[in-house]
């Protein structure tokens, strides 16, 4: 008998261990909801377990691609909406926004207007029963918000109560779907809450789900999982002929640096799977509702919103905002010029730098003359546009100076003798001296009888008015 080396003995024991583990796995009972799997050959390379596809038995698989009847295109049905053209029936609409922008309130506002059949922000609504599924906020908070909305929009409370229903899933794990791994095969599984949602939605025209982070218990970056979640919701929308509105958060970078149209968090499947997508965006003037996607028709323009004293989103009053873009730019330039004047009067140097710890914006934002909207990150473009306009029109100029450390710096100054201003100037003091020296009232009376005077307008040397 040939002697077995230590290396060969290790190989043999490894093979025996592998065979024993595979035998134990085969002997384990499968979960009731899972399907049997077929395994590849075990001698040589071990292949991963592959699920038996539907129809691998004796019966042929059901077709997945269904032909569309094109015999009579004249009876093609156009899309229908509960809130035209932003919330279509039979599809899933995604409403995104950063935390605190008012997604839940906006969902309840649309929800209440559809229940009453009353137009919302100029968009026609089709009356129908509605269901609001709150997975994030308590039912009592939803009641309070709804009462404020009814008062703000003067909706008929009886009609609202008859056509609305709110269900609270915030106190339990009421996720609608979760990720399940079965012998290495990952899939998205609907929960009992999804079945409850289907039953509660019967007879409704619109269902609002607040929100995706609580209803979707899986990886938001997994495109296949996200697509499966949308299919589950879209199936309910199609089967019951209703509109599903899913509220969702946006990611931190989009909230901080601007979304650029990407008002959702996670995989692009969130964008691709929704037929209509809305976004609540905070701007330097307030909040805008933007229609960023519509696969069924034309998108609408942004809707400017503001909050009433109770925090309800309402249309921004036209009189509260500049009527034209030119008015806005002029108002911005006036405000920035006032802030520069205040800084120079206080003895501060206003640097011309755009970046770094000591730049124009950083210095001026410490003065109350600069409006709040020009200090925030969304208003920085307006601020620098105002600086460029003031410099272009000669109302401010660059000046090189030496600081206390003997370093050459550059700052903004007001040109001496500058008489042009965006702000109406204060009338200058009148003088009757050839050199511009102020004359006392007595001297004025003495000169009042002479015909030769030299009236000049005295200005401060720093150029302020």
- Mean pLDDT (10-residue bins), the chain, 465 residues: 68 75 69 49 42 56 83 80 93 89 90 92 92 92 92 91 92 89 85 94 94 88 90 94 92 49 62 88 86 89 88 72 66 88 89 88 88 82 90 90 88 69 44 44 42 42 40
Q: pTM to 2 decimals?
A: 0.56
Please give the pLDDT value at position 133: 94
Please give the pLDDT value at position 423: 42
Please give the pLDDT value at position 249: 85
Tokens describing residue 392: 């272009």
| CA 149 centroid distance within chain | 22
Please give the pLDDT value at position 56: 52
Please give the pLDDT value at position 443: 43
For residues 40 and 174, the answer to whether their CB atoms sit within 8 Å is no
Encode 170-208: b = buried (16+ Cβ within 10 Å), e = exposed.
eeeebbbbbbeebbeeeebebbebbeebbeebeebbbbb
Among the listed residues 411, 416, 400, 395, the one whose alpha carbon sits nearest the alpha carbon of residue 338: 395
List helix spans (H) across 304-355. 325-345
Please give the pLDDT value at position 462: 44
Whole-angstrom CA distances from 61 to 52, 65, 185 are: 12, 12, 20
Please give the pLDDT value at position 62: 81
For residues 425 and 465, the answer to whether their CB atoms sit within 8 Å is yes
d(CA 95, CA 177) in angstroms, rounded, equals 19
CATH of domain 81-320: 3.40.50.300
Please give the pLDDT value at position 426: 43
Sorted by where each begins, the domain ranges of the chain are 81-320, 325-413
Question: Do the bridges between strand 397-402 and strand 216-217 make them parallel or antiparallel, or are there none, so unpaired?
Answer: unpaired
d(CA 266, CA 255) in angstroms, rounded, equals 14
In the beta sheet, which residues pair with residue 118?
Answer: none
Share of the chain above pLDDT 70, in %: 75
């Amino acid at each position: 008998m040939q002697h077995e080396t230590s290396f060969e003995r290790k190989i043999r024991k490894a093979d025996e261990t592998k065979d024993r583990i595979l035998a134990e796995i085969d002997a384990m009972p499968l979960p009731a909801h899972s399907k049997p799997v077929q395994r590849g050959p075990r001698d040589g390379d071990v292949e991963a377990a592959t699920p038996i596809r539907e129809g691998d038995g004796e019966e042929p698989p059901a077709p997945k691609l269904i032909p569309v009847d094109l015999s009579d295109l004249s009876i093609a049905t156009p899309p229908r909406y509960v809130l035209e053209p932003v919330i279509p029936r039979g599809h899933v609409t995604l409403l995104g926004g950063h935390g605190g922008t008012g997604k839940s309130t906006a969902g309840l506002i649309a929800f209440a207007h559809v229940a009453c059949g009353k137009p919302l922000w100029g968009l026609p609504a089709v009356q129908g029963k509605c269901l609001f599924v709150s997975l994030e906020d308590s039912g009592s908070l939803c009641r309070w918000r709804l009462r404020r909305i009814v008062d703000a929009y003067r909706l008929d409370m009886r009609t609202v109560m008859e056509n609305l229903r709110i269900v609270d899933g915030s106190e339990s794990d009421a996720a609608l779907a979760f990720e399940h791994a079965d012998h290495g095969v990952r899939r998205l599984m609907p929960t009992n809450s999804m079945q409850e949602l289907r039953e509660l939605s019967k007879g409704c025209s619109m269902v609002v789900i607040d929100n995706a982070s609580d209803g979707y218990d899986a990886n938001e970056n997994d495109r296949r999982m996200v697509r499966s979640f949308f299919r589950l919701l879209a199936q309910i929308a199609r089967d019951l002929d209703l509109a599903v509105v899913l509220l969702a958060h946006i990611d931190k970078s989009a909230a901080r640096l601007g979304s650029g149209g990407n008002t959702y968090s996670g995989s692009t499947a969130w964008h691709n799977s929704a037929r209509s997508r809305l976004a609540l965006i905070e701007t330097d003037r307030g909040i805008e509702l933007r229609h960023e996607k519509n696969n069924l028709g034309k998108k609408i323009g942004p809707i400017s919103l503001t909050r009433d004293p109770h925090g309800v989103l309402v249309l921004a009053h036209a009189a509260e905002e500049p009527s034209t873009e030119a008015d806005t730019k002029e108002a911005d330039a006036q405000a920035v010029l006032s802030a520069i004047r205040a800084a120079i009067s206080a003895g501060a140097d206003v640097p011309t730098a755009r970046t770094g710890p000591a730049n124009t914006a950083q210095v001026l934002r410490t003065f109350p003359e600069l409006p709040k909207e020009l200090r925030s990150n969304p208003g920085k473009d307006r601020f620098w546009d105002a600086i460029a306009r003031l410099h272009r029109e000669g109302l401010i100029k660059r000046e090189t100076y030496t600081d206390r450390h003997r370093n050459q710096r550059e700052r903004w100054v007001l040109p001496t003798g500058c008489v042009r201003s965006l702000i109406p100037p204060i009338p200058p003091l009148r003088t009757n001296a050839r050199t511009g020296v102020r004359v006392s009232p007595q001297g004025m009376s003495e000169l009042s009888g002479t015909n030769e005077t030299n009236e000049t307008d005295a200005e401060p040397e720093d150029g302020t008015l």
